[in-house]
Structure 1
């Protein structure tokens, strides 16, 4: 990856190795066998379970929890993975507090839901640690499908297509597969190389060929893919980042939060990563929180997350907001950046307070900042793509685009919210529709 343009004077190695190891250890330590049984015993095994409806991948949650409770975690894992082949990652990064666990009857009755996410991790980890792949390929169909993007949507689509007997070729712009799971999620959510381990395990289905450093438009043409393959699935995510169009927005020390997180995720030495003394993150989504929290964990003295609306409008969940606050991140709301000040490198950032309707109040504030991270949204990059809607590829419920033979899903498409679990569901559903189309 290219070296990030840190400001002069921004230091690395603020903490010792032991502190880094502790700061970036697993956010939610895994349940042991006894803890899993105790947690599973709290489930009511509802007949018409609201948690299933709340799950974007429609996992039969009461069934897999019952399987854990009866001492068959591998069967529970297969129940999960049948619907969500990346159930291990989703168990770690899903905002379960706003999905299945928020809908849990125990949450409604007692304010303490069943630990669905942690139980899902227990089951999937148990199976994956044995190196077992619970699915086998169907007989070869003779059909071939190109998948662009080795992120959650692309890998989910590729696995389901391979399982159904198709030959799948995956093209990805980066050096490693995994997409957001590998490059875009806080390191403390997926430590110890879990993202790559899950990809390696997923590929055991067979029938999937990976091509790295192959970006759509630069190395691979969509027209050639449609000519060479029976179907194409686009799941390349959003490659562009919205610019910070204010005075001084191009100063040294102003970075894209996604690049900051990617550099951190690929670093073999956290102590070698420069981090500012006074870090300001602009944005209110999960990327903004991940960047802010990790800045603090790297040793930044002051970290401020600045968002233009109120906390109730932040895309980051309440849990993520509280996590940031617990790590010492200051959250400023109803502010928009007006200017960045400094002689070449950023030294201060000026904000204006705004009302709920985004009109300025005229009141401004300046705070120290030697590193500013932009997390203000990403954009779709590419030419000759299917029809767009609101800046993304327009798709039907099954991922069909405006171009025959081309499907799309994940962050690059209009199908749903920008969550790993949603991307997995969209890749899976598109694969089923591709299969139906190819087999007549």
Structure 2
């Protein structure tokens, strides 16, 4: 047994002074004072004890790309960030687009320090117009379906997938990107692209496919989840769709909430991601969308790469940045320390809400449930240096004293067992 003493516990949507008893990996008792006899005592010292954070969008790269990340390093990074449950995307090598490959992926995932929920691809290889064996992959344990990294350009392919996934009462997470409009761009269309002389990505590459998909989702009834939205028009389209009763949810990344293309002052590919950083107006609309509930959750799109893949400028470097280790402190500073939202609201959209939307048994502290939680020092002021990361990837602009933040993860537990300690 373990006893967490002197916790500022996020419980039942409020912060309470409580002790927490853990037995056999589950929450056994929550009370103002619990006897410590015969238990291992962990003094939280009046720090925040919160449900383990939930990220429905990460890339752990194994198999096939282990020079970027492995399941062990990715899950260690997640625990460092306070996350105890993640959804891993299927853009590995090989893509787990049949039952045999999917079961192999699930076996590899058992190396993880935290809980992994595995996406299956919507189509074969993620890039074809031929649907994967959706029903068989669902039966094999796929918690949702996504072609993340690739938009589905064929409307019939998307509509057929939606109808089949809806029949399973599962979830379709869409990377909305019309390749014909993306046009091999590397940066948002705007003044920065012009200044740096780089090929640009138009906003309509995202919004035109989103508009199409929302109508297909209405017709099919599928739970349609939009990955990493980045434009003001996307926020408005989703707001309208929700008002119309369409079963749509969406996520936004920390980097799209914190940065715009105006922050790109040189040919530094640590600022290269897909979708790209948009305008300041777009960034402000994303923040507003989080605050009014149009945007349901924050997801990192944790995308580690080797240094050699990110030091070749915008034209030749890979898309994507790491994020799972920096997400909570950056969001705490942006939203809570600024007074824009309460800590309870932030914990809701980073743990409870994503779990509820995807039907995951996570994101809450409840008696009898798995003791997945994190201890956070909200008063610890610090910033990240590159040697602080447990991920193999250090491809992020959020390093150095410019990004001083608060909310340091001190410990993370899964099933009552410590998986990270500061």
Instruction: Select the structure that is richer in strand.
Output: 2
TM-score, normalization by structure 1: 0.23
Larger radius of gyration: 1
TM-score, normalization by structure 2: 0.24
